[in-house]
Amino acid sequence: MGSISAGLGNCMECWQPPPAGYYKMNIDVAMDTGRRCMGFGWVVRDEFGAIVGVLMSRINGLYSVKEAEAMGAREALSWLKQKGWAQVILETDAQVVTQAVYNGEFLIPFGSIIHEIRDLLSDLSSVHFRFVRRSSNTFAHVIAKRALSTVGWERVEYLDSLPRFLSSFGFNLI
């Protein structure tokens, strides 16, 4: 199984690049209770901080925060598996999800999503799943929020490019 780092000792205040040969994927979820929808967002960067993939997705319906965060992690891992990207550090600011994956929480319905995450991690042996502070997850948060404002599509993917709406934020990549 891919490794899981639940300890707070691994948290960093700022995004840090992955080791050579790895990608780093940051994921997040945003919710719009008024429109009853959720936005998922993730960004994948290489060891130099260059963006190699961005995905944002909006789905109708609302789940509890921990279920939505777990769904986002499951979808991100499924996407990684589909892309064939093996050496990845996946970071989320959803500590409850990271701890549940680490501890094996299986209470329905949250637990069934956690079980699917654990199954995906067992298929992706070089993917490391860990918790980081929100300050290290800014790109993913902006992408998830942007996904909420989209109309007419459910999923948009950018590969090897920075979406224009992110460049306008003036983010320093590292």
CB 68 within 8 A of CB 29: yes
Residue 15 in any domain: the answer is: no
pLDDT of residue 165: 72
Residue of 72, 9, 78, 73 lying closest to 40 (CA atoms): 72
Helix, strand, coil % over all residues of the chain, rounded to 5: 35, 25, 35
Residue 13 in any domain: the answer is: no
Helix (H, G, I), strand (E, B) or coil at 67: helix
Residue 117 in any domain: the answer is: yes
pLDDT of residue 135: 85
Residue of 22, 31, 19 lying closest to 149 (CA atoms): 31
Q: What is the mean pLDDT of each run of 10 residues along the chain (174 residues)?
A: 47 79 96 94 92 91 93 95 93 94 81 93 94 89 89 76 66 44
Residue 16 in any domain: the answer is: no
Residue 152 in any domain: the answer is: yes
Which structural domain range is residue 59 located in? 22-167
Residue 2 in any domain: the answer is: no
CATH number at residue 41: 3.30.420.10
| Tally of domains in the chain | 1
Residue 54 in any domain: the answer is: yes
Its pTM surpasses 0.95: no
Kindly give, in sequence order, each residue whose CB lies less than 8 Å from that of residue 76, ignoring residues fewer than 6 positions away. 25, 27, 40, 42, 55, 90
Residue 39 in any domain: the answer is: yes
Q: Prior bond to 109 cis, omega within 30?
A: yes
